[in-house]
Structures are given as structure tokens and as C-alpha cells.
DNA sequence: CTATTAGTTTAGACTGTTCTAAATCGGGGT
DNA sequence: ACCCCGATTTAGAACAGTCTAAACTAATAG
């Protein structure tokens, strides 16, 4: 088996690879998990020996199929835990991430099954991020755009929010902006401040950092998908 | 902070100390956590540096007040988790121990609080073992006796069962013998086989190993305590 | 009072993970 | 084509935790 440290490396590589595609650089991993590049190089060697990554010296690293499955397993644990903590233990949006990070490597497959059953096999976590299925099939690509890239008069649905910044999450919770919320962009100020109308109701001005942590999909496209009977997250 | 390995040493020392009193021998610890005596000696040194045990060379080891608090904290986590898994995630009696062992070092104080609240601050775990209070006050002494030490015609209440042997637990579950069950001892055969009447109902013959893992208190004493308004576990 | 020996500690080695400091690589600008 | 500089790897050390083998201690049997 792999240690929890190794699982954290694979999770980090997976996340970076999902955003910017392979190959993933040593320094990107080092930044993500707060270690030195030298430590990362060393660990990439042992991960390659275990067959979960392939590493080309000076070029970067890529997950193997096995490595991706391990990463998906950890991500599934993480997001199921987040959903469970929010749903059944009354955790708030902004608290679940750290607790899930601590537990994700230590739950059994039995625990995973029972939590999934208690939640009725949820498709997304509290931040709107998709939960890998039990068979660990690869997640499909992200077709969302950052709110900070939207233009005035766009109508969008909030799909997911970055779960890593607690302050931003608390801000958004207070503003009533959660996955599934409909937004109309009212204004875009210099330095990235975005003003939106929330659910056709109140108006909110979101600082750039907050706007960057929100990912949205086009409200019209989503409605079309809806008519085809597909599921958008609730 | 202490590592989870250190927490496991302290938990083991606590358990042995609770049963046979200090000082606790190196080999007793080694047996309990399945390591070599040499490894234990080495770790006792570092635990002494951290101020959680005092160790007299060749004599044995004892928890300090700090060390006992750490052990109680881990035990509280363990038993709360067992209770939660049984109550809210439909785990059986015999499955909870291993899962709790894996999680006990990794939950936050916040998680502990929420689990305790969800269970309404339980006093005992599913095996009848007392759960240390949130302020980590020392548990009071064990006034139970093993079922294997009972005599014919004794009437007793099952107080707790050893949570370490999964087979015995499955046996007892099938036999309907759980904490709170009233037993009348019908017969004691050679080699320790004990025959009991369960709740004035069915009769069961329990092999020696099973009888040894059951601890009981006198049914009459318990009734007296009950009349004083004290709580016996349900 | 000495010899035996079970239990304990020490010595030394090994694995896993991380770090700092130094050497090396390679792509972009001249 | 060559140089440079930032990114990367290597070298070497450190720490935690564990092991085996060897030395030691203390309690007991004779
Ligand atoms: Mn993690
Ligand atoms: Mn999340
Ligand atoms: Mn443990
Ligand atoms: Mn228990």
C-alpha cells in the first residue's frame, strides 16, 4: 500500500494535472503541498518505482492509470467526507475541508460505502465539486469558467467554488452565493471587483479574489441541458 | 504535539496500568502493540523527554498526569467513534473497533464535540466501556468481575465485553448477550464452559474464551444502586 | 552467596521523509 | 551559436520509528 504522504502527492498531481494538463512540474507540486522541490524530486522517484507516476527528468511528471485511480479514491473520500460532515454533523461550508483532509487517508472502504449510502450516493460535494464514483471512473472535463472572466449582463449559474480559502467561503456564505445560485453580472470594476444580482434579488459586490474562486456555467446552456433531462447540481 | 504512534503507546500503557496498576513493564507494552521490547525501550525514552511518562530503568514505566490526559483523550475519541459508528452508520458491534482505531488519532476537537452532541453525550460505548468525559477526568475503578469467575445460581448483569476479539463479539451478538443483559448462571463445566439463562429466557453455553471476555456486576447490587437513582448502562 | 536466566537495555543498522547546499540542465534572448 | 538564469536534480545530512544481535541487570534457585 501507499503511505498517506504518497496519497497527498498523488492528489496534488491529480489536481494540477486536471487544471493545466500534464506534464506537472516539480515546483508546482512543491507549492501545492508546501515542501521543497528537492523533497518532491526525491518522492517522485519512489512514486515512479511504485508505478503510479512516470517522470521525465527536467520535463515533469504524469500520473499512470494506477496513479489516477489512487488519486480518485482519495478525492472520493475527501468529498464524501465533506458532504457527510455538512449534511449529518452540521458543519458549515468553510469548516469541512480541513477535517476531510485529516480523515481522507484513514477511512476504510466499508466506511466509504456507509457514508455514501447515508447520503444516497451524492454526485457533488458542498462546494459543487464532483464526487468520483465508487468504480473510480475518470471525471469528465470541467466546462465552467471563472466568474472573474464574465462580462456585464451575462446570466450564469454558480457551479462550484474553491474550497481552499476559508475566508472567501465565509464571505460567499454570507452573500448567499452557493452552488446552484443564479447570478446576473451587473458590473465589472477595475481591479476585478464584480457586482452581481443574486437570484434576481439582492445585489452584491465581490472582491477579485472571491470572484476568482467562483466557477460558473452559462445559465442558458444549463437550461437546455436541463430540458434534456440531465442533472445540474442542486 | 505527539505523533499517533506515541498516542498508541500511551493508550497501551494506560490500559495495562488500569488493569494491573503501575509500573508497566516493557514487555507488556511490546505485546500490546506488537513491537519488540527494544523498540519500546527506545520510545519510552522519547516519551519521558516529552514529559508524559516516567521510566525507571529495569523497573517499568508510569504515566504522568499529562500522559494520562493524553491517553484519556485518545480513549474518548475511540469510544465516541465506536458509539457513533454503531448508532448512526449502522455498524455492527464487532466492526466498530478497528475503524475507531484508525480514526481516533485524526479527528479534531470540533469533530469530537459534534459527535458527542449527535449522541447526546453517551456514558458508555457499544461494548459497555465508559467514555471519558470532555474534561478528561480520570475514570473510576472497575468493580466488575469476569463471568468466568461466577458460580452456579449467581444472578448478574452484563456490564462490558472485551472489544478486541471479533469472533467472540459475533458469538455474543448471536447469543443475545450485550451490556445490560441479565444472566443467571446455570452451570460451570470443566475447562471453563459456562451455561447461562439469558434474560430469564433461552439457555446458552459459552466457551471459556467467551466467558472470560464478559465482565458482569451483581444483579442485586445493581438494583440497589438503581433505586438510589443512579444509572446502570442500558 | 553465587549461578542462572528471563527480561531489559544498548549498539548499530535500516527505511521513509524531509531538508539545505551544491551541481546541473535547458529554453529564450542576444 | 552561446550564455544565462531559473528550475531541477544530486549529495549529504537529519529525524522518527523500527529491527536484530549483543550486553547487561536483577531477581531467584541452589
Ligand atoms: Mn491529506
Ligand atoms: Mn470540497
Ligand atoms: Mn490507534
Ligand atoms: Mn469499545
CA pair distance A75, A91, nearest whole angstrom? 19
CA of A12 to C1' of C19 (A): 20
DSSP B135-149: T-PPPPPP--EEGGG
Q: Tell if B146 CB is < 7 Å from nucleic strand C.
A: no
Mean pLDDT of A111-132: 98
CA B81 to chain centre: 13
pLDDT at A32: 97
pLDDT at B230: 59
Q: Tell if B37 CB is < 7 Å from nucleic strand C.
A: yes
Nearest CA in chain B to A101: B106
With H, G, I as helix, E, B as strand and everything else as coil, classify residue A49: helix
Q: Tell if B6 CB is < 7 Å from nucleic strand D.
A: yes
CA pair distance A177, A228, nearest whole angstrom? 26
Q: Tell if B67 CB is < 7 Å from nucleic strand C.
A: no
A98 pLDDT tier (thresholds 50, 70, 90): very high
Nearest beta carbon to residue A89 from set B90, B106, B118: B118
Weakest mean pLDDT among A66-70, A145-149, B24-28, B67-71: A145-149
B199 pLDDT tier (thresholds 50, 70, 90): confident
Nearest beta carbon to residue A90 from set B88, B107, B114: B114
Domain limits of chain B?
4-63, 145-221
CB-CB contact of B43 with B52 (8 Å): no
DSSP B41-104: HHHHHHHHHTTSEEEETTTEEEE-HHHHHHHHHHHHHHHHHHHHHHHHS---TTTHHHHHHHHT
Residues 6+ apart with CB under 8 A from B59: B23
Weakest mean pLDDT among A225-234, B14-23, B78-87, B157-166: A225-234
CB contact (8 A) between residue B99 and residue A114: no
Q: Which of 2.30.30.90, 3.40.50.2300, 3.40.1160.10, 3.40.630.10 would CATH assign to domain B145-221? A: 2.30.30.90
> Which residues 158-177 in chain A show a CB within 8 A of chain B?
none
Chain B residues lying within 8 Å of A88, measured CB to CB: 88, 118
CA of B7 to C1' of C12 (A): 27
Provide the grid cell at A211.
470572484
Q: Angle at which helices A37-49 and A4-20 pack, to 10 degrees?
A: 100
Q: How many CB atoms lie within 10 A of CB B194?
A: 24
pLDDT at A128: 97
| Topology at the third CATH level for domain A4-63 | Arc Repressor Mutant, subunit A (1.10.10)
pLDDT in tens, B133-157: 999 999 998 889 999 889 999 999 9
CB-CB contact of B74 with B11 (8 Å): yes
Nucleotide closest to A8 measured between CA and C1'? C17
Which nucleotides in chain D lie closer than 7 A to a protein CB?
7-12, 16-22, 25-26
Nearest CA in chain A to B100: A107
Instruction: For residue A127, report the distance from its CA to the centre of ligand 2, in Å.
Output: 5
With H, G, I as helix, E, B as strand and everything else as coil, classify residue B204: strand
Provide the grid cell at B12.
497501551
Residues 6+ apart with CB under 8 A from A173: A92, A93, A94
Residue ranges of alpha helices (H) inside chain A are 4-20, 26-33, 37-49, 65-88, 96-103, 109-118, 166-175, 208-212, 219-227
Indicate the length of chain B as a whole number: 234
- In this complex, the residue with its CA at the shortest distance from the C1' of nucleotide D8 is A58
**C-alpha Rg value of chain B to the nearest Å:** 19
pLDDT at A86: 98
Nearest CA in chain A to B85: A111
The pTM score is 0.92
pLDDT in tens, B11-66: 999 999 999 999 999 999 999 999 999 999 999 999 999 999 999 999 999 999 99
pLDDT at B69: 98
B157 membership: H or E segment, kind and range: strand B155-161
CA of A46 to C1' of C23 (A): 22
Nearest beta carbon to residue A106 from set B89, B103, B111: B103
Instruction: For residue A95, report the distance from its CA to the centre of ligand 4, in Å.
Output: 29
Indicate the length of chain A as a whole number: 234
pLDDT at B234: 46
CA distance A102 to chain B (A): 6
CB-CB contact of A213 with A168 (8 Å): yes
Nearest CA in chain B to A117: B89
CA pair distance B119, B103, nearest whole angstrom? 18
CA pair distance A33, A23, nearest whole angstrom? 17
- Reply yes or no on whether the pLDDT at B84 is more than 90: yes
Amino acid at each position: 500500500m501507499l503511505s498517506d504522504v504518497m496519497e497527498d502527492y498523488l492528489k496534488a498531481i491529480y489536481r494540477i494535472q486536471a487544471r493545466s494538463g500534464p506534464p506537472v512540474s516539480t515546483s508546482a507540486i512543491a507549492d501545492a503541498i508546501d515542501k521543497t522541490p528537492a523533497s518532491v524530486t526525491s518522492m517522485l522517484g519512489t512514486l515512479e518505482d511504485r508505478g503510479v507516476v512516470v517522470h521525465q527528468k527536467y520535463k515533469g511528471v504524469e500520473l499512470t492509470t494506477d496513479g489516477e485511480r489512487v488519486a480518485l479514491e482519495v478525492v472520493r473520500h475527501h468529498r464524501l467526507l465533506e458532504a457527510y460532515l455538512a449534511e449529518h454533523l452540521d458543519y458549515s461550508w468553510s469548516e469541512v475541508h480541513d477535517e476531510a483532509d485529516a480523515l481522507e487517508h484513514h477511512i476504510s472502504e466499508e466506511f466509504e460505502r456507509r457514508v455514501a449510502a447515508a447520503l444516497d450516493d451524492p454526485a457533488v460535494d458542498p462546494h459543487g465539486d464532483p464526487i468520483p464514483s465508487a468504480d473510480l471512473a475518470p471525471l469528465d472535463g470541467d466546462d465552467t469558467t471563472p466568474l472573474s472572466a464574465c462580462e456585464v449582463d451575462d446570466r450564469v449559474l454558480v457551479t462550484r467554488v474553491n474550497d481552499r480559502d476559508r475566508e472567501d467561503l465565509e464571505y460567499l456564505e454570507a452573500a448567499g452565493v452557493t452552488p446552484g445560485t443564479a447570478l446576473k453580472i451587473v458590473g465589472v470594476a477595475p481591479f476585478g471587483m464584480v457586482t452581481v444580482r443574486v437570484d434576481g434579488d439582492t445585489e452584491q459586490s465581490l472582491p477579485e479574489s472571491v470572484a476568482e474562486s467562483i466557477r460558473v456555467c452559462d445559465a442558458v446552456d444549463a437550461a437546455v441541458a436541463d430540458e434534456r433531462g440531465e442533472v445540474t447540481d442542486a
